[in-house]
Amino acid sequence: DAKTTQPPSMDCAEGRAANLPCNHSTISGNEYVYWYRQIHSQGPQYIIHGLKNNETNEMASLIITEDRKSSTLILPHATLRDTAVYYCIVRVAVASYDKVIFGPGTSLSVIP
């Protein structure tokens, strides 16, 4: 799996958009970008993933640069419940045989 780098921590005002960056400069052509989050001490939760195009679901939007070397997860209207650690991972989506490695992630604090 390609290595990712994320800032260790970020703050965001409640109601504003939270933009979480991720660098993955060694990503391969068949590797997807995945985002997970971990609230307090719960198990991580899947948020979104994408290959080349920007993606949006009910939780967030994912913007991937044209060269695919970086991406940004956007929480459009952050709430206090979005305070969590966010993990960016790159991996092949459909293969069954790749191990999934998590980095330290970004600790997002949403401030009232």
Partner 1 sequence: NAGVTQTPKFQVLKTGQSMTLQCAQDMNHEYMSWYRQDPGMGLRLIHYSVGAGITDQGEVPNGYNVSRSTTEDFPLRLLSAAPSQTSVYFCASRDSGDTGELFFGEGSRLTVL
Cβ–Cβ under 8 Å, residues 54 and 83: no
Q: Taking CB under 8 A as the rule, does residue 37 contact partner 1?
A: no
Question: CB neighbours (10 Å) of residue 36?
Answer: 20
Q: With CA atoms as reference, report the closest residue to 64 among 86, 33, 103.
A: 33
Give CA–CA dist 105/9, Å, rounded. Answer: 8
Contact with partner 1 (CB under 8 A): which of 46, 52, 79, 80?
46
Residue (10 or 14) nearer to partner 1, CB: 10
Min CB(25)–partner 1 separation in Å: 19
Q: Taking CB under 8 A as the rule, does residue 67 contact partner 1?
A: no
Residue type present at position 56 = T
Contact with partner 1 (CB under 8 A): which of 29, 58, 66, 97?
97
Q: Taking CB under 8 A as the rule, does residue 35 contact partner 1?
A: no
> Which two tokens mark 85?
């650690």
Site residues (vs partner 1, CB under 8 A): 32, 34, 36, 41-46, 49, 85, 87, 91-97, 99-105
